[in-house]
Chains A and B, each alone.
Chain A
Amino acid sequence: MKVICDRAALLDAVNLMASIAPARSPKPQLSCVHLCATKDGDAGRLTLTATDAEVSLRLTTLNVDVNKPGEALVNAQKLQQIVAAEDAEATLTIEVDGDQIEVRGADAKFRVFGFPPAEFPPAPEFLDADDPRAGKIFTVQAASLETLVGRTLFATARETSRYAINGVLLSLKGKKLELVATDGRRLALARGHAEASADTEIACIIPSKAMQMASKLIDDPDENIRVAITDNQVIFGFNADAGEPRAVLASALVEGAFPPYEDVIPTDQDKRAVFDAAALRSGVRRAALLTNEESRGVRMNFTNNDGNSLRVSSRAPEMGEAEIDVNVDSYDGDAIEIGFNPTFLIDALKVVDEPQVVIEMKAPNKPGLIKAGADFVYVVMPVSLQ
């Protein structure tokens, strides 16, 4: 194998590879990136593949000159370091001699010991839509998927624990695509659209890590992403329209049941406040300055007697207290005092681009509901106030 690569394109690719391949592995082959150079007439292509136990990623770059097709298996970290260090070069040459991989710049020659390419696990197949093994398939616009992920991923549990669902629920009914995430204390639901055959129904949990990677792989907001769901895998194909996709991301699905999220979203809230999203965000953020580990919550006082108002207050023992008045555009319902973890509120308000948000409540020990437009619903559980 011998290829001449555009260094910048190669660096983008090896950066992603190095982020997937585990730095240390009991089998050193698994810390490697698999390189495969092919030639189709004059058009050469280099395919790079890396995997950890859960996720695998295959990238194809066309910015190469393939002198001699072939394969190689080389430590991903090392290759990434070399490509990153050769920053004066426009192109790099990769040539394989047996198990040795040579990377050459104008004034440098690196010879790295690799492994027989056959020792790398087979890459996930990106099957044609009509292949019966392809599973259920839909297509989503990159920009839309990015928004959906951005509006939900933050609400997943950070720590892996029995109780947390370390993934995002993907649900598709016809063209209606929903992502749902929760850490047991709040739940974020984002709605969007997908292209699929009318009878397609999907519900699966995608690991947070894969969801994050998928969002990171988005390059062009207008490109289409084809998503295939099999019994135990999800496969994203990026820029799938142009025949062979430029990137294929495969991940195992999270097993287990997602909480019945539809039941969790309250429908009988009897208090409703409408805010300018930025004003509310700023008010909560400022009140949060005087919270601490001991007193995490902010107290929210909604009143409707002398004009609508919200007072957000906080009190951190041995530190101090804060009181912020936030303008309320409209308020319906009785006065209420309810406590929330401000981080949970800010998390949601950060991902809202609509100018207005609505908070609906019922009682101090019942969930609060934040809505922005029709496509974002956020349930947040209160904290007890002292």
Chain B
Amino acid sequence: MSSGTEAPSRRQSHQSGGSAPSLRIKSLAALLVNQIAAGEVVERPASIVKELLDNALDAGAMRIVIEIEAGGVDLLRVTDDGVGIAPEDLALALAPHATSKIFESADLDHIGTFGFRGEALASIASVSRLSIRSRPRDEESAYTIEAAGEVLSEQRPESGPIGTCVTVRDLFFNTPARRKFLRTSQTEQGHCLETARTLAMAHSHVGFTVRIDGRERLNLPAGQSPKQRVVAILGEELAPRLIEVHADEFDDARGLALWGLAGLPELARPTLKGQHVFVNGRPIRDRTIQHAIQEAYRGLIEPSRKPTAVLMLEMAPAAVDVNVHPAKAEVRFRDSGLVHSVVHRALREALLRADLTPKWPGQDRGGFREFGSDRSPGPAGQLGSGSGGSVSAAAFADSFKQAVGGPDARIDYDALRSAMGQHVPEPSQEVGPIPVARPADRVLQVHKSYLVTQDEQGVVIVDQHALHERVMFEQIMQRLQSGVFESQRLLTPAVVSAPAQRVERLADLTPLFEKLGVEAAPLGPDTIAVHAFPTFLFDKGVDPSEFLSDLLEQAETDGFPSSSEEALHEIVDMMACKAAVKAGDRLTEQELAELVSMRSRYERASNCPHGRPTSIRLSIRDLERQFGRT
């Protein structure tokens, strides 16, 4: 290994006196070990930021300053005002597997600190020039220790404030191969900043400052409330689009408390970047929780999009194993079922309570931008152009499409399960439907596609197909709970020709079809006969063979769910879509009024099952602003 031969030649001048040759051999071996460990812990500058911040937070810091130069390769420095390290422990802090946080292996079962392996500093020191200056509260002065590769200096006194300052220079100086893998300093510093922002979210009481190449890029005061902190990081302009989420299940040992902010469906994004999940203040990625979040937004967003959500879970340290991932980014829950249900239910309740009507984009266009890691928070991060000129209808529609995404969709998990006969406590019934305004007196149909009406907040524009589809979907799901659908038999079977593999797919769907009033059976290797079809679909002019052939085609695709619950949703989804009025259908005045009044009667009417919004609102305030009255 080249780094092993390179390191001694780069030895620092202030190294400790002459080491015995035998010791040197030993330290070389130790260096190798640490460098290997560093491969796991110190992937890139951002991982060092993460480890150093963990240490500062473990030390009870109230203020943390992070400095980054040249992407973190030249310099990374984290200064805190925490408990500090006693001078006699400084060398120990750098020793591998030396930690003040765990004493016996039983402690591993209930880790309450962020660090616990005692390997971070040693690993970092093995691939950089590291110095620690620290001053505990009861110490007159600070002490500094320096390390580079395997070489450790003697600690020496130095003036400095209470707390610890860890400086990492020349990252990967002795492992040039690793250095090559780093991206541009722009990218690396972006990751560092993102790491700081993420950790800062979970520690609202701690002040965070990030300076990159001398410029302040993040400044969060100490003592913020969790909400203030999250909003400060996500961007103030998102505040009106975030819903507070709570759950408290601390009644037994498996206790679990949840607090968070969930974004309106319109804030969903193509990636998981908008999701921040913390367990006991530790940022984690967890599939169970991701799934619970996705399920809660079922039907409100296109399924390929990811909701924006910041969730903080608190649970007894014994209920979660954090020692499963080198960067501690993954955890293992003792009761992941409980975690799933608490997260899912809390989000769903919050969403049901919320007014999900997207806001007029002119009101606050910042909200339709994606908030990126490189954007500074606070007023500078907002778009100040909200009051500007008029927004054309097309641009308006486009911005919604962008914000919400294209068609495609899934649904609502609980209704589904109860529809399948399993009783699941239905939170929506406890919280009641979304408050929606009284039906407006007059409804205007525009271009045979959109309905314009009012509620007490302003003008509401409804997509007639999307809303009707949503309503149909809810009605069908509701009816399913009261039993099998009424079904009309056909005089002669409607014949559908379909490739053999689709005909085979039919058998899986047959039990669901029975509930839905569809009776279909293979007629030959590549034909299917429909014998009976739901009366209400006939009423809506849905053609049985067309429905069957479309459905089987979809059932063949990879995206089609294999579980019968979800498949039922797919089918109902298609029924709703086909049965709903289409864009271009002229509606009578009565039908218009009826449709708009349904908006208030069905929960979550503001998004069609495909995840597109069913209606948008232009508030009186927006109008006043657009007309320059304010």
Residues of A within 8 A of B (CB): 158-159, 161-164, 182, 184-187, 259-260, 263-264, 293-297, 317, 339, 341, 365, 367, 379, 381-386
| Distance to closest chain B CB from A166 (angstroms) | 12
Q: Which positions 533-561 of chain B face chain A at CB distance < 8 Å?
A: 535-536, 538-539, 541, 543-546
B-side contacts of A296, CB under 8 Å? 486, 488, 535-536, 539
When the two chains form the complex, which single residue of B479, B488, B494 contacts A383, counting CB atoms closer than 8 Å? B488
B-side contacts of A294, CB under 8 Å? 479, 486, 536
Q: Given A162-B546, A293-B536, A297-B535, do A384 and B487 touch, yes or no (CB 8 Å)? A: yes
List 6 tightest A-B contacts by C-beta distance, closest first: A381-B489, A296-B535, A161-B543, A384-B487, A159-B541, A163-B543
| Distance to closest chain B CB from A235 (angstroms) | 31
A-side contacts of B541, CB under 8 Å? 158-159, 161
Contacts A162-B546, A186-B491, A296-B536 known; list 12 others, CB within 8 Å.
A161-B546, A162-B545, A163-B546, A184-B491, A184-B544, A185-B489, A259-B492, A293-B539, A382-B489, A383-B535, A384-B489, A386-B483
Q: Which positions 447-493 of chain B face chain A at CB distance < 8 Å?
A: 479, 482-484, 486-492
Among B517, B536, B543, find the residue whose CB has the most chain A CB atoms closer than 10 A: B543
A384 touching B491, Cβ below 8 Å: no
Q: Tell whether B532 is near chain A: CB-to-CB under 8 Å.
A: yes
Nearest to A343 among chain B residues (CB) is: B539
A-side contacts of B539, CB under 8 Å? 293, 296
B-side contacts of A385, CB under 8 Å? 486
B545 touching A185, Cβ below 8 Å: no
Q: Can you pick out 22 interface pairs between chain A and chain B where the beta carbons lie within 8 Å of each other?
A: A158-B541, A159-B543, A161-B543, A163-B494, A184-B490, A184-B492, A184-B494, A184-B544, A260-B492, A263-B492, A296-B486, A296-B488, A297-B535, A339-B486, A341-B488, A367-B491, A381-B488, A381-B491, A383-B535, A384-B486, A384-B489, A384-B517
| Distance to closest chain B CB from A369 (angstroms) | 12
- A163 to B530 alpha-carbon distance, docked (Å): 11
Interface footprint category on B:
20 to 34
- A383 to B489 alpha-carbon distance, docked (Å): 6
| Distance to closest chain B CB from A243 (angstroms) | 44
- A264 to B490 alpha-carbon distance, docked (Å): 10
- A260 to B491 alpha-carbon distance, docked (Å): 10
Q: Which positions 482-515 of chain B face chain A at CB distance < 8 Å?
A: 482-484, 486-492, 494
A-side contacts of B487, CB under 8 Å? 383-384
Q: Which positions 104-121 of chain B face chain A at CB distance < 8 Å?
A: none
Q: Given A187-B491, A296-B539, A341-B488, do A384 and B532 touch, yes or no (CB 8 Å)? A: yes
Among A293, A382, A385, find the residue whose CB has the most chain B CB atoms closer than 10 A: A293
B-side contacts of A186, CB under 8 Å? 491
B-side contacts of A163, CB under 8 Å? 494, 543-546
When the two chains form the complex, which single residue of A164, A184, A260, A341 contacts B535, counting CB atoms closer than 8 Å? A341
- A224 to B277 alpha-carbon distance, docked (Å): 84
B-side contacts of A384, CB under 8 Å? 484, 486-487, 489, 517, 532
B484 touching A386, Cβ below 8 Å: yes
- A336 to B257 alpha-carbon distance, docked (Å): 60
A-side contacts of B494, CB under 8 Å? 163, 184
Nearest to A366 among chain B residues (CB) is: B489
- A369 to B147 alpha-carbon distance, docked (Å): 98
A-side contacts of B486, CB under 8 Å? 294-297, 339, 383-386
- A386 to B483 alpha-carbon distance, docked (Å): 8
| Distance to closest chain A CB from B468 (angstroms) | 13
A182 touching B488, Cβ below 8 Å: no
Q: Given A296-B535, A296-B539, do A365 and B488 touch, yes or no (CB 8 Å)? A: no
| Distance to closest chain B CB from A90 (angstroms) | 40
A-side contacts of B536, CB under 8 Å? 293-294, 296
When the two chains form the complex, which single residue of A182, A297, A383 contacts B491, counting CB atoms closer than 8 Å? A182
- A122 to B389 alpha-carbon distance, docked (Å): 57
| Distance to closest chain B CB from A186 (angstroms) | 7
When the two chains form the complex, which single residue of B479, B483, B491, B546 contacts A379, counting CB atoms closer than 8 Å? B491
- A149 to B479 alpha-carbon distance, docked (Å): 39
Nearest to B538 among chain A residues (CB) is: A185
- A367 to B491 alpha-carbon distance, docked (Å): 8
B484 touching A264, Cβ below 8 Å: no
B-side contacts of A184, CB under 8 Å? 490-492, 494, 544
- A383 to B494 alpha-carbon distance, docked (Å): 16
- A243 to B535 alpha-carbon distance, docked (Å): 51
A-side contacts of B492, CB under 8 Å? 184, 259-260, 263-264
| Distance to closest chain B CB from A228 (angstroms) | 31
- A293 to B517 alpha-carbon distance, docked (Å): 14
| Distance to closest chain A CB from B543 (angstroms) | 4
A-side contacts of B546, CB under 8 Å? 161-163
- A158 to B538 alpha-carbon distance, docked (Å): 11
A-side contacts of B489, CB under 8 Å? 185, 365, 367, 381-384
B-side contacts of A159, CB under 8 Å? 541, 543
B12-42, CB under 8 A of A: which get 1 and which 0? 0000000000000000000000000000000
- A185 to B479 alpha-carbon distance, docked (Å): 23
B-side contacts of A379, CB under 8 Å? 491
Q: Given A184-B492, A259-B492, do A162 and B484 touch, yes or no (CB 8 Å)? A: no
- A187 to B494 alpha-carbon distance, docked (Å): 15
Nearest to A259 among chain B residues (CB) is: B492
Among B486, B490, B517, B543, find the residue whose CB has the most chain A CB atoms closer than 10 A: B486
When the two chains form the complex, which single residue of A161, A185, A263, A295 contacts B490, counting CB atoms closer than 8 Å? A185
A-side contacts of B488, CB under 8 Å? 185, 296, 341, 381, 383
B-side contacts of A382, CB under 8 Å? 489
- A157 to B258 alpha-carbon distance, docked (Å): 56
- A266 to B486 alpha-carbon distance, docked (Å): 23
B269-282, CB under 8 A of A: which get 1 and which 0? 00000000000000
B-side contacts of A381, CB under 8 Å? 488-491
Nearest to A187 among chain B residues (CB) is: B491
A-side contacts of B482, CB under 8 Å? 317
| Distance to closest chain B CB from A133 (angstroms) | 36
A-side contacts of B483, CB under 8 Å? 386
When the two chains form the complex, which single residue of B479, B490, B538, B543 contacts A162, counting CB atoms closer than 8 Å? B543
B-side contacts of A264, CB under 8 Å? 491-492
- A186 to B488 alpha-carbon distance, docked (Å): 10
- A297 to B535 alpha-carbon distance, docked (Å): 9
B-side contacts of A365, CB under 8 Å? 489
Nearest to A182 among chain B residues (CB) is: B491
Nearest to B483 among chain A residues (CB) is: A386
| Distance to closest chain B CB from A189 (angstroms) | 12
- A182 to B491 alpha-carbon distance, docked (Å): 9
A-side contacts of B545, CB under 8 Å? 162-163
- A185 to B337 alpha-carbon distance, docked (Å): 48
A-side contacts of B484, CB under 8 Å? 384, 386
| Distance to closest chain B CB from A313 (angstroms) | 14
- A317 to B532 alpha-carbon distance, docked (Å): 22
| Distance to closest chain A CB from B320 (angstroms) | 47
A-side contacts of B538, CB under 8 Å? 185
Nearest to A297 among chain B residues (CB) is: B486
B88-105, CB under 8 A of A: which get 1 and which 0? 000000000000000000
- A259 to B482 alpha-carbon distance, docked (Å): 36
Nearest to A264 among chain B residues (CB) is: B491
A-side contacts of B491, CB under 8 Å? 182, 184-187, 259, 264, 367, 379, 381
- A336 to B491 alpha-carbon distance, docked (Å): 20
| Distance to closest chain B CB from A298 (angstroms) | 11
| Distance to closest chain B CB from A343 (angstroms) | 10
- A158 to B484 alpha-carbon distance, docked (Å): 27
- A232 to B486 alpha-carbon distance, docked (Å): 41
| Distance to closest chain B CB from A245 (angstroms) | 37
- A379 to B487 alpha-carbon distance, docked (Å): 17
| Distance to closest chain B CB from A295 (angstroms) | 6
- A379 to B491 alpha-carbon distance, docked (Å): 8
- A65 to B494 alpha-carbon distance, docked (Å): 57
| Distance to closest chain B CB from A201 (angstroms) | 23
